[in-house]
Amino acid sequence: MPESLNAEHQQLAATCAEFAQQVLLCASSDNPAATRADVRSAAKAAGLFAMTQPESFGGTAAGQLALCVARETLASFNPPYMDAVFGPSPGVLAQVEEPLRSTHLTPLLAGEKRGSFGFTEADDAPAPTSGVIEGSNLRVNGQKSYVTGGAEADFINTLVHIEGRGPSMVVIDTASEGVIIEKKFVSLDGSHHAIITFKDVSVPVAHIIGEAGKGMPRAMRQIGDTRLLFAAQACGYMIWVVNLLNQHLLAPDKSGNPRGNLDVIRLRYADLRIKTYAARSMLYRTARLADQGENIVNEAMACKVFATEAIGELVDTAIQLVGGSALVEDHPLAVLYRQVRAWRLAEGASDVLRLNIGRGILELGKGRL
Ligand SMILES: Cc1cc2nc3c(=O)[nH]c(=O)nc-3n(C[C@H](O)[C@H](O)[C@H](O)COP(=O)(O)OP(=O)(O)OC[C@H]3O[C@@H](n4cnc5c(N)ncnc54)[C@H](O)[C@@H]3O)c2cc1C
């Protein structure tokens, strides 16, 4: 439970609260690139940046509970530049051997190279992205339809169906001949993506991450690891929304009475508090299970579905209760509304995760209540 944190996690929460208030909320919006660099330096000094990085690379490799405490606490202030607080994590490159360790993982963790993740294919793709091994090279053809940061990345960790081996994760350098940025686009939350085509791209076989044919579990592990963190950030935003509404409902309306005096308003508000309580309870229970070494694949999916749907409902209802001023483009509720909408699709659409949870218990006997 959020209440029974040990001294170390309580200290972490206090550090994050101070960081959000004194660094992120005070950050200038004049020069975002320079501000991001300042935030990164401050996050390194505060010990937050290294939490997502392995100890063998100078990181502190925080556990799931610590990461959830940190993300939830930061998000509970709804600050800008949260994406600059934590250092790049290895993702699918975790425990990769040479040469990829030196050529890609080390510069990724040092912030010298940018990586991206090519998994999703267009609905109308004639065939999945595929590769054929020819001597010491792999020839890759296909297209990935939603590569976040793909246009700015140095390499793309790409799911490729290798002939005779099966789905494999492959590092493809974006400077390679035949890597074509087909289209750049921005999603509702403001993040940047690209459609990327691979046309007879020649990739060294040494760029296959881990064992060929074992790419799907590796890719799913990366996606799975991020699901609990989405839930943690959503929980933080829920705290921010209920606190904002609390103030709004205690303030008087035109009649001079507190807005929250009306039962119909209290009912709506209570629903949001119930959802927040449930989401946080799930999150902390699951993070503790993860730190005990338990398999939390199903529970992390449950947390992600519940928390991302709940934050969507909270922001939507909060806008309704605050009124038209909350729909002004730069109102924090309007900004948050756009930001959290993507989360019901990114890292697994809600209904697809529901199906996986159903399959987990009915076909594999996995999943807790
Ligand atoms: C902000 C953002 C960032 C993203 N970043 C990346 C990235 O870096 N790399 C990457 O590879 N992808 C990325 N994606 C893509 C994301 O992974 C997909 O959008 C997501 O997995 C859903 O796939 P889809 O868009 O193809 O929709 P679909 O799979 O077509 O799903 C659409 C809807 O169809 C229904 N549906 C789909 N499958 C089933 C099924 N089996 N049974 C029943 N109903 C079903 C569900 O209702 C679902 O919501 C990103 C998406 C967003 C929004």
For residue 28 the two structure tokens come to 């200038």
| Structural domains of the chain sorted by starting position, each given as residue range(s) with its CATH number in brackets | 2-89 (1.10.540.10), 114-209 (2.40.110.10), 217-364 (1.20.140.10)
146 Cα: distance to centroid of ligand 1 (angstroms): 9
> Which is it for the CA torsion 248, 12, 68, 154, positive or negative?
positive
CA gap 44, 85 in Å, rounded: 8
Residue with tokens 């087909």: 182
Tell me the CA distances in angstroms from 287 to 81, 217, 274, 331, one per residue in order. 24, 21, 20, 32
151 Cα: distance to centroid of ligand 1 (angstroms): 20
Confidence of residue 248 (pLDDT cuts 50, 70, 90): very high
Going along 31-91, which residue ranges are E strands?
Answer: none
pLDDT of residue 224: 79
For residue 356 and ligand 1, the question of a CB distance below 6 A is answered with no
Q: Which residue has a Cα nearest atom 43 of ligand 1?
A: 352
Confidence of residue 40 (pLDDT cuts 50, 70, 90): very high
For residue 345 and ligand 1, the question of a CB distance below 6 A is answered with yes
DSSP-assigned letter for residue 53? S
144 Cα: distance to centroid of ligand 1 (angstroms): 12
Q: Whole-model pTM?
A: 0.95
φ and ψ of 41, to 5 deg: -65, -45
**pLDDT at 63 exceeding the cut of 90:** yes
For residue 60 and ligand 1, the question of a CB distance below 6 A is answered with no
346 Cα: distance to centroid of ligand 1 (angstroms): 6
For residue 124 and ligand 1, the question of a CB distance below 6 A is answered with no
Q: Which residues pair with 210 in a beta bridge?
A: none
Q: Which residue has a Cα nearest atom 13 of ligand 1?
A: 146
Q: Which residue has a Cα nearest atom 4 of ligand 1?
A: 346
**pLDDT at 250 exceeding the cut of 80:** yes
For residue 181 and ligand 1, the question of a CB distance below 6 A is answered with no
190 Cα: distance to centroid of ligand 1 (angstroms): 17
Confidence of residue 301 (pLDDT cuts 50, 70, 90): very high
For residue 153 and ligand 1, the question of a CB distance below 6 A is answered with no
**pLDDT at 336 exceeding the cut of 80:** yes
% pLDDT > 90, the chain: 93
Average pLDDT, the chain: 96
Range 129-158 average pLDDT: 97
For residue 355 and ligand 1, the question of a CB distance below 6 A is answered with yes
Mutation pick for ligand 1 pocket among 114, 145, 148, 191 (CB with most ligand atoms within 8 Å): 148
**Number of CB atoms found within 10 A of residue 286's CB:** 27
**pLDDT at 26 exceeding the cut of 90:** yes
Cβ atoms of residues 81 and 25 within 8 Å: no
224 Cα: distance to centroid of ligand 1 (angstroms): 14
Q: Which residue has a Cα nearest atom 1 of ligand 1?
A: 342
For residue 342 and ligand 1, the question of a CB distance below 6 A is answered with yes
φ and ψ of 34, to 5 deg: -65, -40
Tell how strand 115-118 and strand 155-162 pair up: parallel
Ligand 1 atom with the shortest distance to the CA of 191: 1
288 Cα: distance to centroid of ligand 1 (angstroms): 28
Q: Which residue has a Cα nearest atom 21 of ligand 1?
A: 348
pLDDT of residue 219: 86
